[in-house]
Amino acid sequence: MIKTYFVTGTDTSVGKTLASCALLQAASKFGYNPVGYKPVSSGGKITSSGLRNNDALALQANSYFNLSYDFINPISFQEEAPPNIISKKIGKPIEFSLMSSGLKKLQLLSKWIIIEGAGGWFTPLSMDKTYADWVLEHRLSVILVVAIKLGCINHALLTAKSILSSGLSLLGWIANEIENDVIYKNEYLLTLDYMIEAPCLGVIPYLGLNKIKLFLGDYLNLSLLI
């Protein structure tokens, strides 16, 4: 049976890539041969191989299979801006069909797929559609990443409620400590654990620089997800 999980966050820059890499590493340790997928990215650099996004490269590096970049990130924009805004600016619509065909290719290769979204749950991909619409179309199970900081409780509860009210499964959430020495950190975690209707899969501590290069899978309890 193919397991496909969609990783969303309470906002942009909350650690979706970090959490997704942790999930891929933990799954590899369990022997699931996982792959990561970043259907849409914005903010990239032109290289000798083409446009490359750091988040997608991290997913590529932590995937079991040695796949070409286009398999991991089929839709990419150079400018770091909301996808709907930049796609309209350059006249490159974001097609659900392309996102879906990319997912189908990966599902032929792997039975354990982590899909990283862009921004938060309702990030627009056009004036008519949000990322949540695509996730709902595929009935994907969702994992929520919460950045532990002031205001995170409200953002997390609103996002979790939106996911559940859509009829999708919120299988778990991951706490990411994006700041060092957050006041009331433990109280935040206790409150979130009590109020979110899904288990906490783990807490990724503040790691400073080069966090993607560390082994992150040990911070998660993948058995709660499985």
Query: What average pLDDT does range 60-74 have in this prediction?
Result: 97
Which residues are known binding-site members for Mg(2+)? 17, 55, 116
The pLDDT tens digits of the residues spanning 112-171 come to 999 999 999 999 999 999 999 999 999 999 999 999 999 999 999 999 999 999 999 999
Helices (H), the chain: 16-29, 54-61, 69-72, 83-90, 96-107, 131-138, 152-165, 185-195, 222-225
Q: How far is CA 80 from the centre of its chain?
A: 17
- pLDDT value at residue 212: 62
Q: What letter would DSSP give residue 74?
A: S
Residue 100 to residue 121: CA distance in whole angstroms: 18
- The b/e string for 103-138 (b: 16+ C-beta within 10 A; e otherwise) is beebeeebebbbbbbbbbbebbbeeeebbbebbeee
- pLDDT value at residue 210: 64
- pLDDT value at residue 80: 94
User: pLDDT grade, residue 211 (50/70/90)?
Assistant: low
- The verdict on whether 38 is a catalytic residue reads yes
The pLDDT tens digits of the residues spanning 32-42 come to 999 999 999 99
Structural domains for the chain: 3-225 (3.40.50.300)
Residue 8 to residue 212: CA distance in whole angstroms: 18
Which residues are known binding-site members? 13-18, 42, 55, 116-119, 176-177, 205-207
Q: Is the pLDDT of residue 213 over 80?
A: no
Which residues are known binding-site members for ATP? 13-18, 55, 116-119, 176-177, 205-207
Average per-residue pLDDT for the chain = 95
The pLDDT tens digits of the residues spanning 12-66 come to 999 999 999 999 999 999 999 999 999 999 999 999 999 999 999 999 999 999 9
Task: Using DSSP, state whether 11 is helix, strand or coil.
Answer: coil
Q: Is the pLDDT of residue 214 over 90?
A: no
- pLDDT value at residue 225: 84
Out of 38, 92, 129, 213, the active site residue is 38
